[in-house]
């Protein structure tokens, strides 16, 4: 019987292990001003790690190595890339060691992740944030990787990237956003495609506006379940005047409501200046309509805030996805569903 990410979160979400890094480092006692990593360029070496769930197909690594080659990038595999400890890609100590070593390695130019799953939150108190802050590099992934993205930004100010993992669909849509953002240092605009196909009006990739308006702020967010699981810890940034973006998959509205309520009661939703929800795959009601819909849940929590907000952005567990930088100033237009970066995310 397969185990879902939700079940794994319930079983082990609270079991953080003892810290293995110095107390001052774990407390985040260093500068947290925005820290932009260097851009990618042809011939750079990407360190590939697997900080969450294990992969059971070694060809996943080969395929992604070929993908990186198509981007004119080289790959160096983490020492524990193919480890397995239960559902995890190795022990917490081993997976954290791969994160720390990739940032410390002068020959590694960026750090990409092979897949999500569950496990990154277990590593947060084992990371060497002091070394990471001294060697800023691109870190990219999504879903469970949200834990790392948020923690590194919160602790060091490093701009991190909610984008494809190794086993993602690296099609033209997704790859173009990666190249424009990480190679070309473009302050780009992200807006859902308007292709109607053979239909008389747009059916796919629609924007569902919750509140119209334009808002500015730094982008923060990621996977809702992973983010809500570390509420109350030191591994979340300050949400004041931030634009919060969220994504989910395989969660019915009841569970989304529970997590959104947690963000509300923690005071997070009252602080944000804008809100964007991704294209939530398999998030419909349970049998019949004996529950709220996802649209109703989002309206209940976000509409009363009066802030610009929409649902349906190309973020999350979908083939065509944006790469969204955490920590970068942006402007959103909730009527059109557009996210415009106001500065490059890399230097």
Parse the chain into domains and list their residue ranges: 5-183, 189-341
Domain 5-183: top CATH class: alpha beta
What are the residue numbers of the active site? 143, 247, 317
List the beta bridge partners of residue 209: 310
Cα–Cα dist 65/141, whole Å = 16
pLDDT in tens, the chain (347 residues): 444 555 544 544 444 333 334 333 333 444 469 999 999 999 999 999 999 999 989 999 999 999 999 999 999 999 999 999 999 999 999 999 999 999 999 999 999 999 999 999 999 999 999 999 999 999 999 999 999 999 999 999 999 999 999 999 999 999 999 999 999 999 999 999 998 889 999 999 999 999 999 999 999 999 999 999 999 999 999 999 999 999 999 898 999 999 999 999 999 999 999 999 998 877 888 766 678 999 999 999 999 999 999 999 999 999 999 999 999 999 999 999 999 999 999 99
Q: Answer for the pair 323, 181: CB distance below 8 angstroms, yes or no.
A: yes
Domain topology for 189-341: Glucose Oxidase; domain 1 (3.50.30)
pLDDT of residue 28: 41
- Name every residue whose Cβ is closer than 8 Å to that of residue 14 and which is 6 or more positions away in sequence: none
Q: Answer for the pair 341, 188: CB distance below 8 angstroms, yes or no.
A: yes
For residue 187, give Cα distances in angstroms to 76, 174, 182, 183, 286. Answer: 29, 16, 10, 12, 40
pLDDT of residue 14: 40
pLDDT of residue 85: 98
Put simply, whether the predicted model's pTM sits higher than 0.85 gets the answer yes
Q: Regarding beta strands 110-113 and 45-49, do their DSSP bridges make them parallel or antiparallel, or are they unpaired?
A: parallel
């Amino acid at each position: 019987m397969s185990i879902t990410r939700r079940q794994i979160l319930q079983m082990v979400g609270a079991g953080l292990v003892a810290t293995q890094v110095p107390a001052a480092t774990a407390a985040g006692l260093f500068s947290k001003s925005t820290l932009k990593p260097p851009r990618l360029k042809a011939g750079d070496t990407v360190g590939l790690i697997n900080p969450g769930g294990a992969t059971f197909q070694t060809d996943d690594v080969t395929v992604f190595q070929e993908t990186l080659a198509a981007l004119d990038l080289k790959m160096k595999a983490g020492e524990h890339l193919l480890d397995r400890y239960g559902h995890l890609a190795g022990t917490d100590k081993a997976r954290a060691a791969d994160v720390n070593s990739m940032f410390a390695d002068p020959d590694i130019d960026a750090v990409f992740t092979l897949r999500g799953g569950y496990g990154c939150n277990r590593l947060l108190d084992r990371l060497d944030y002091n070394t990471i802050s001294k060697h800023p590099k691109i870190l990219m992934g999504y879903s469970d990787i949200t834990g790392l993205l948020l923690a590194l930004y919160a602790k060091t100010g490093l701009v991190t990237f909610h984008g494809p993992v190794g086993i993602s669909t690296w099609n033209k849509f997704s790859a173009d956003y990666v190249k424009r953002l990480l190679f070309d240092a473009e302050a780009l605009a992200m807006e859902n495609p308007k292709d109607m196909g053979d239909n008389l009006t747009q059916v796919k990739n629609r924007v569902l506006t919750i509140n119209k308006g334009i808002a500015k702020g730094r982008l923060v967010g990621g996977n809702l379940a992973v983010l809500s699981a570390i509420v109350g810890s030191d591994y979340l940034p300050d949400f004041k005047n931030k634009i919060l973006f969220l994504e989910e998959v395989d969660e019915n509205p009841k569970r989304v409501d529970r997590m959104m309520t947690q963000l509300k009661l923690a005071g997070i939703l009252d602080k944000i200046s804008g809100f964007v929800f991704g294209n939530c795959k398999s998030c419909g009601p349970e049998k019949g309509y004996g529950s709220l819909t996802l649209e109703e849940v989002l309206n209940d929590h976000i509409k009363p805030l009066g802030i610009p907000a929409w649902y349906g952005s190309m973020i999350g567990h979908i083939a065509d996805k944006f790469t969204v930088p955490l920590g970068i100033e942006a402007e959103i237009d909730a009527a059109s569903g557009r996210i415009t970066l106001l500065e490059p995310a890399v230097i």
